[in-house]
Amino acid sequence: MKHNKARRNLLNNYIYKWVSLILGVFGFIVFIMMYLQYLGGKPGTLLHHPILIFVLIIPFLPSLCFLFLAKRARKNAASDISKS
């Protein structure tokens, strides 16, 4: 029973890592598009509008959430394996 739970957690870890990677790539593409649209390639604009820093970070949040889930699944799998 614990072996299946550990296997499921390892599989979830693997899936979460890949989803995080894919979302990270899409987040980077969206970041570049937003950077060019809002800043026009002029980073000095961030000094005038510091809220844009948070707007530019938003595309990476889904990727970070899945990284957190992958870390938790790996930790759970390691604890299941050590118990058995």
Q: Are 23 and 62 in contact (CB under 8 A)?
A: yes
What is the residue type of 31?
F
How far is residue 40's CA from residue 36's CA, in Å, rounded to a whole number? Answer: 5
Residues across the chain: 84
> Whose structure tokens read 């598009």?
33
pLDDT value of residue 75: 92
pLDDT value of residue 40: 81
pLDDT value of residue 35: 86
pLDDT value of residue 45: 81
**Mean pLDDT of residues grouped by 10 in the chain (84 residues)?**
81 95 95 86 81 89 95 90 80
CA 19, distance to chain mean position in Å, is 8
**Predicted structure pTM score:** 0.81
